[in-house]
Chain A
Amino acid sequence: MMLDALYQEIILDHYKHPHGRGLRDPYDGEAHHVNPTCGDEITVRVPADFSDISYDGLGCSISQASASVMHELLVGKTAGEIAVVHEAFVALMQGRGQVEPDEDVLQDAIAFAGVAKFPARVKCALLPWMALKDAAARAGVDVSAEQVPEGTGGAR
C-alpha cells in the first residue's frame, strides 16, 4: 500500500514513543509555530549551546515524529552542524521525492523521504524544524543554510 512509504516504522515508533518531549528550562530562545491549514502547533525551546532541544505540541504523527527525530539528531551539536542537518532535511522535504537522502547526515530522519511524495504533509514534517530555526535565532544563534560552508555536505 502507498501508505507504507509515508508511515515508516521509524516514524510510527517516534510518534508512539517520542524522545525528549516536554518543555524544559533553562533556555535562551523559544518559538511557537502553527500550521494554519490544519491547526497543528509546536513550541520549541533551545539554550544557545543546544545542550537541549525541548518541545511540546499538538499534531499528527508526521509532525510529532519529526520533532522527536529532530531532538534525537540535533541535541548537543554545534550551530554549524545543526545548520548542515537542517538544510539537508529541508531539501529532502522540498524535493518532491526526487532528492536522494544522505543517511550519514540525516540518520533516522531519512524515514521522512516518503513524506516528500505527499505534498499535503510536507508542512507537517517541517513544522518543528522551522520552529527550531526561529527559537535558535531568538537565542542569538543562526542555524540557517547560509551558515553552511561550501563542501560540508547538506543537500545535493
Chain B
Amino acid sequence: MTFDVARVRADFPIFEREVNGHPLVYLDSANTSQKPRRVLDAMRVHHERHNGNVSRSVHTLGTEATTAYEEARAKIAAFVNAGTPDEIVFTKNSTEALNLIAHSAGQMLALKPGDEIVISEMEHHSNIVPWQLLCERTGATLRWFGITDDGRLDLSDLPGLVNERTRLVSVVHMSNTLGTINDVSGIVARAREVGALVALDCSQSVPHLPVDVRGLGVDFIAFTGHKMLGPTGIGVLWGRFELLAKMPPFLGGGSMIETVTMGGTTYAAPPARFEAGTPPIAEAIGLGAAVDYLNELGMAEIHQHEQDITAYALKTLSDVPGVRVFGPATPEGRGGTLSFAVDGVHPHDVGQVLDALGVEVRVGHHCAKPTCARFGVPAMTRASFYIYTTTDEIDALARGLDEVRKVFG
C-alpha cells in the first residue's frame, strides 16, 4: 500500500492557509510539527467536558481527567515498547527530560573528580549544557565523540572515550541538523562492558521511525510531544524502572511525595516522584491522541515515506547550483532533515526569500553550534520533512532556491 499523503494532509487544518500569498510549504517539522485535527479535538474535548486536576480528586471530573492522563501514559509506553507505563515520566519537553537525567542520575552516581561523562559533537545544546553544568557541579570530566566528514559519529576511538572512568554516555539518536541516524549498538555494548549508563536523545527519532527502548538496550531516552504531532509543553523521559526507583527527585512539590512533615519528606515511587506540581494534563492527552494517529499510519510506513522524500530531496538539491548538503549524502542511515549551504548567501537571507514564497525553513545554528563549527559555518539552512511532506513541496523549495540566487546573484 502506498502512503496516501493527500489524505494525511486533509487531517491538518493549517494546510488550508496561505503564507505571503502562496500555499503553505511547511519544511520545518524538525523544529515543531503541525497538528492534526484529532489532536486539537482531543485537547478541546478534554477542556470542554472533562477538565479537573489529576491524581488528587475524588470527584467525577478529576477521575475522568486522571484516567485520560494515565491512558496517555500507557499509550506512550506502548509506543516506545517500555516495560511498564510507570517508566514514562511526563516533562515539559526533551530539554527538561535531559536535565532531569543529568540532575537525578548524576546525583545517584555520586559523580566526583576523575569520573567521565561522554557526549558527542553532534548534540543539540540541550544534550550538552546539562552535562557541562553537571561536570561543573561535581568535578567530573566531559568528553565527546567527534563527527566524520560525511556527518556520522566518529567511533574510531570508542574504547578510549568510553572507558572504566566513564559513568554515563548521552548521545543523539538522530541529529537535528545533519539528519544522521546513529547506530548506537556499538556504544551501548562498550558502555555495558565498562558499567556506564546510556541515555539517548530521541527528540528527532521517536517522531519519525519505530523506536523500541528495550531493543536499543539503553537506560534512558528523552523526546518531546510537539515534534510528533502533539502540543508544546509536554515531553517524555523514559527510564528503566529499577534506575528511576533509585534516583532522587528533580523538582520538589505537590504530587511527588509519599509523606511530608516539617522535619522531612519521603518521596513517591516513579513516575510520580519526577512529576512535581500539576502536570500538563491536556497536553499529555493531546500527545496520546498523536500517538494513536501515528500508530494508525504505522511508524514503519512513515519512515519509508520520509526515506522516499529524503531521496527525492537529496537528488533535487544536488541539481541546484551552489547548494552544498551537510551530513550523509544518501538516504541510508539518515532521516528527513536536510541542512545545506547556498554558496555566497547567508542562511538568514535564504530563509527570508523562501518565506516570501510561502516556503518555511529553519535558518541559524539550530541550537547545535558545535555541529555547525565542525563544518566551518556559523549557520545552516534546514529543510525537514514529515508525514505530510510532498515531492511538490521539494520542487517548491528548489524553485525558491533559484529565486534566492536571483536576488543575491
Contacts and interface: CB of A to CB of B under 8 A. Distances in A.
Contact of B349 (A37, A58, A61): A61
A21 to B, nearest CB: 15
Interface in A85-139: 118, 121, 124
A2 B20 contact: yes
Most buried by A among B345, B352, B369, B407: B352
Contacts of B352: 3, 6, 118, 121
Most buried by B among A6, A7, A39, A40: A39
Interface string A64-77: 10000000000000
B407 A58 contact: no
Interface of B is mostly: helix
A118 B369 CA distance: 25
A13 to B, nearest CB: 12
Given A7-B407, A61-B408, A121-B348, A39 B378 contact: yes
A43 to B, nearest CB: 14
B365 to A, nearest CB: 4
Nearest to B353: A3
Nearest to B378: A39
Nearest to B380: A39
A68 to B, nearest CB: 14
Given A7-B407, A12-B408, A61-B408, A2 B356 contact: yes
A60 interface: yes
Interface string A39-67: 11100000000000000001111101000
Most buried by A among B349, B365, B407: B349
A61 to B, nearest CB: 5
Given A38-B379, A41-B378, A60 B356 contact: no
A15 B308 CA distance: 38
B178 interface: no
B372 interface: yes
A: contact size bracket: 20 to 34
B376 to A, nearest CB: 11
Contacts of B88: none
Contacts of B407: 3, 7, 12
Contacts of B353: 3
Contacts of A12: 407-408
B346 interface: yes
Nearest to A64: B346
Contact of B364 (A1, A2, A37): A37
Contact of A38 (B20, B348, B408): B348
Contacts of B379: 38-40
Contacts of A41: 378
Interface in B372-393: 372, 378-379
B20 A59 contact: no
B363 interface: yes
Given A37-B364, A38-B364, A39-B372, A3 B346 contact: no
A58 B372 CA distance: 13
Nearest to A7: B407
A78 B356 CA distance: 40
A3 B356 contact: yes
B365 A39 contact: yes
Contacts of A6: 352
B365 A38 contact: yes
Contacts of B349: 7, 60-62
Contacts of B369: 39
Most buried by B among A37, A41, A61, A124: A61
A58 B349 CA distance: 13
A98 to B, nearest CB: 21
B346 A59 contact: yes
A85 B391 CA distance: 49
Nearest to A57: B378
B351 to A, nearest CB: 9
B176 to A, nearest CB: 15
Contacts of A37: 364
B25 to A, nearest CB: 16
A7 B379 CA distance: 20
Contacts of A40: 348, 378-379
Interface in A1-21: 1-3, 6-7, 12
A53 to B, nearest CB: 22
Contacts of A60: 346-349
A7 B404 CA distance: 12
A56 to B, nearest CB: 13
Interface string B311-354: 00000000000000000000000000000000001111100110
A124 B407 CA distance: 19
Given A6-B352, A12-B408, A61-B345, 12 more contacts: A38-B347, A38-B348, A38-B364, A38-B365, A38-B379, A39-B365, A39-B378, A41-B378, A58-B378, A59-B348, A121-B348, A124-B348
For the complex of A and B, list the 7 residue pairs with the smallest distance between their C-beta atoms, beginning with the closest: A60-B348, A60-B346, A39-B365, A38-B364, A39-B378, A3-B356, A58-B378
5 contacts: A3-B407, A38-B348, A38-B379, A60-B348, A121-B348
